[in-house]
Structure 1
């Protein structure tokens, strides 16, 4: 599953996935999808990759504002839309996720950051604020926000960008189960069916997919209903 800390559709998709499938993180590989900064983009391009995401139009952005509020209300999620200025450093929170995973606290980190961004409307791309969010969640904020300065964490980020490129992921949420691909929040049910597990009981797997499917996957895409970058 390719996920993003930036996208409201990713936030809702991951939340609904884990509500339906509490052991999702044991079955599915989570891969961060984020717009690379200059350093990460240079490394990506040096390896022959590129970033597929294209910024959305103002009209689409305004539609998404309305659509996400409608969906959040439908699912019963409290939501406060954050005001992004357009120059956010998205590598910071996503590279910090890799560091959190290394420390074994990625679940707590993800929960804290998503609550800050989508429930309180906070800026998670500003280093001091992200550190405070982590500290208040009982995490080592100083270590997590220093992730972009660690070469091996940067390398993990570039590897994720190459997988995004090679899997033709253009936005989020985007899921993969074997050869099957699903883009958008409204494709979650199809992904769960293909995965062969709807939360504990037998499902109706897509033909050709063994049950249980242990293939690791994950991604999020943009440009259809329930998906954005």
Structure 2
């Protein structure tokens, strides 16, 4: 394969959290073998940068009916897996901040640790990832500079990495998360995890 397996995730999506948790429970080495790529709705400036890079953004809003169905389905999955989950109260979050903070943590070689701290805050304690204090606490827990993590949203170098991540999603035809890519094979959604694991075995990434 020219590229390692990729997993497009979002701190916003409970199904992304569930997919990553299931993946790493079944394949503990996944954080080292799989390239994690953050995915979120870009702001106007990032969309302009994407256009300049001959890329775009493929996600489309879901209907209210589908959103309600997905919420109920998530509750069923959480109970089935035996996890503890607290729905966050905040819905209007600027998702660039948390995801650029994750990119900053990756630059510090602490991406997986920061990811875990952030999803614990959001999905196990119901905290607002748009709150700089929450991001700072997660950074400190992960061994990342809290000031640098919160400053990443306006750091030109981090925003360039953000454009690269979003452009990668566009090039891979990513329209929602969680989304797994292995070579030419694509798997969208938590219920496609078995297919992804079979594909990485076939590719020789996992025995």
Q: Structure 2 length normalisation: TM-score? A: 0.91
Q: 1:79 to 1:110 in 2, by over 3 A?
A: same
Match of 1:144 in 2: 149
CA distance in 1: counterparts of 2:101 and 2:57, whole angstroms: 20
C-alpha distance after superposition, 1:129-159 (max 9, x if no partner): 3223333555421111111222111101001
C-alpha distance after superposition, 1:101-121 (max 9, x if no partner): 111111221111101110111
Match of 2:178 in 1: 173
Bigger proportion of residues as helix = 2
Match of 1:117 in 2: 122
- 1:37 partnered with 2:47: no
CA distance in 1: counterparts of 2:58 and 2:122, whole angstroms: 24
Alignment of 1:54-93 (within 5 A): 54-86=60-92, 88-93=93-98
| Higher deviation after alignment, 60-69 or 136-145 | 136-145
How many aligned positions are there?
201
Alignment of 1:1-229 (within 5 A): 1-86=7-92, 88-136=93-141, 138-196=143-201, 205=202, 210-212=203-205
Tell me if structure 1 keeps the 8 A contact 2:33–2:205: no
CA apart distance, 1:127 = 2.1
Q: Structure 1 length normalisation: TM-score? A: 0.83
Alignment RMSD = 1.7
User: Matched residue of 2:102: which SS?
Assistant: helix
Tell me if structure 2 keeps the 8 A contact 1:89–1:126: no
CA distance in 1: counterparts of 2:179 and 2:138, whole angstroms: 27
C-alpha distance after superposition, 1:15-38 (max 9, x if no partner): 111111111122111111111122
Tell me if structure 2 keeps the 8 A contact 1:100–1:106: yes
CA distance in 1: counterparts of 2:142 and 2:70, whole angstroms: 29
Tell me if structure 1 keeps the 8 A contact 2:31–2:112: no
Q: Gaps (5+ residues) in structure 1? A: 197-204, 214-229
C-alpha distance after superposition, 1:46-95 (max 9, x if no partner): 22221111111111111111111110111111001112333x11010101
Tell me if structure 1 keeps the 8 A contact 2:114–2:144: yes
